[in-house]
Amino acid sequence: MQGATVRNGYIIRTGRGYSFEELKEAGIGPRAARKIGVPVDVWRQTKHHENTDRLKSIVKTIEPKKEKAAKKKE
């Protein structure tokens, strides 16, 4: 899984994880993110649009799997 994008002035690099604000905007909690393998950086305070878009696409790919599992249980 690709890490979050972090900007420091003109330098853009891959970060250690996603910030709480990015996770919140994507509609996923920090515990749930860690459970599915999404890295979380507790020290980051920034929020980048690219990261929230990436997280939203990750959540979309996870949701159909949850629906299939729920149908199997019924």
pLDDT digits (tens, 9 = 90+) for 4-23: 788 777 888 887 899 999 99
- State pLDDT tens for residues 17-64: 999 999 999 999 999 999 988 999 988 888 889 999 999 998 888 876
CA–CA dist 60, 5 (Å, integer):
20
62 neighbors 39 (Cβ within 8 angstroms) = no
Residue 55: its pLDDT value, please?
Answer: 92
Q: pTM here?
A: 0.72
Question: Domain extents for the chain?
Answer: 5-73
Q: Residue 36: how many CB atoms within 10 A of its CB?
A: 13
pLDDT of residue 70: 67
Cα 21 versus chain centre, distance? 10
21 φ/ψ angles, rounded to the nearest 5 degrees: -65, -40
